[in-house]
Amino acid sequence: MMDGGLHAVLVLVAALVVDLTWGEPPTVLHPVVWMGRLQRRLRRLAPRAPVPAFLHGLVMAVTGPVLFGLGAWALLRLVSPWPLVQLALEVYLLKSAFAVRALAEAGLAVFRALSEGDAPAARFALRSLVSRDTTGLEPPLLAAAAVESVAENTSDSVVAPLLFYAVAGVPGALAYRAANTLDAMIGYRGELEWLGKAAARLDDVLNLVPARLSAALLVLACALCGASPARAVLSWWRDGAATESPNAGRPMAAVAGGLGVELEKVGHYRLGAGGRQPGAEDIRRAVFLMVAASLLAATLTAAYVYGEGFRVALASP
């Protein structure tokens, strides 16, 4: 029988191969899509008054992670008498919690449109990466927004799910994904502020470590991919706290410095001040950094779960 560490590594490697080879599961079978549908239904029931809206949002923030985390745990326990079925299910669920290929494809779609001088197509492609209004963005700001999103999602869509897999297995990765998905849906100021406050604060807490680990991995990726790790560290140190989120600016600032560009969201922040305006090629370079950092994260995760399995085996009588 395979020991726990090797099993966890096999699940991780298989999930990564599936992601890089085939990308996302069909929409109808995607757990993250189910998370979104559940939260949309709960949102329809939300009251408008601030305090009731906050309490409803708190229920939403707890429901998703608990339901999908415990649901994954129960389902895996249910199929445990059939090891191959359990393995396949673990691979499927873990793969659904992170997205390297989909993030790369989304970034490269904006890169291709800008490279061809097609700003309207770039604005349309950018909508799959950001929630902001892209209508009035000119090419430099389109490139900046794409680079920012690829950098931020290195944490949200790859490093954080893998980190939670390392410490809490597949259920942990699914629970994190549910919390992060809800924050992406309602964790905004304005009309949704009271409803989304609990989701936003939970997401902030869950990403305190992953965002900083992602920035560190992106600095290392800069060294491996021909960007500047020294500038990445300087920009991370200087500008990492410039965003409203306590986490999002860390990987974005590291990438801005590494690429030598200035990333600006007008009226909100400026990262890598003094750098040149970003262009289409910087999106492609940011995607390379994201992929490199993701592979480094997967390597660290594999080493950790294997080491934990080995430690547990030694401690067993």
Q: What is the pLDDT of residues 37-48, one digit of tens each?
A: 999 999 999 999
| Global pTM exceeds 0.85 | yes
Q: H or E segment at 264? A: strand 263-265
Dmax over Cα atoms in the chain, in whole Å? Answer: 66
- Residue 162 CA neighbour count, 13 Å, CB half: 32
**pLDDT at residue 54 tops 70:** yes
Residue 308 pLDDT grade (very low, low, confident, very high; cuts 50, 70, 90)? confident
Show the tokens assigned to 129.
């990466």
Query: Under a CB-based contact definition with an 8 Å cutoff, are residues 210 and 160 in contact?
Result: yes
Per-residue pLDDT tens over the stretch 181-196: 999 999 887 778 899 9
Sole residue written with tokens 């549908």 = 37
pLDDT at residue 314 greater than cutoff 60? no
Residue 313 pLDDT exceeds 70: no
Q: What are phi and psi of 276, to 5 degrees?
A: -75, 165
Q: Which two tokens stand for residue 85?
A: 């079925």
Work out the pLDDT band at 315, boundaries 50, 70, 90. low
SS3 270: strand
Q: Is the pLDDT of residue 120 over 60?
A: yes
Looking at residue 316, what is its pLDDT?
52
Percent of the chain surpassing pLDDT 90: 88
- Express each pLDDT in 216-267 by its tens digit: 999 999 999 999 999 999 999 999 999 999 999 999 999 999 999 999 888 8
- AA letter at 18: V
pLDDT band of 2, cuts 50, 70, 90: low
Q: Is the pLDDT of residue 61 over 70?
A: yes
Q: What percent of the chain is predicted at pLDDT more than 70?
A: 97
Residue 273 has pLDDT above 70, yes or no: yes
Mean of the per-residue pLDDT values of the chain:
94
Given this model, what pLDDT does residue 20 score?
97
Q: For residue 141, what is the enclosing H or E element? A: helix 139-154
Best CA proximity match to 150, nearest among 180, 122, 121, 129: 129
Per-residue confidence at 136, pLDDT binned at 50, 70, 90? confident
Q: What is the mean pLDDT of residues 52-69?
A: 97
pLDDT bucket at 134, cuts 50 / 70 / 90:
confident
Confidence of residue 310 (pLDDT cuts 50, 70, 90): low
> What's the mean pLDDT in 71-80?
97
Residue 114's H or E segment, with its range, is: helix 100-115
- The dihedral built from the CA positions of residue 191, 194, 196 and 197, taken in this order, carries a sign that is positive
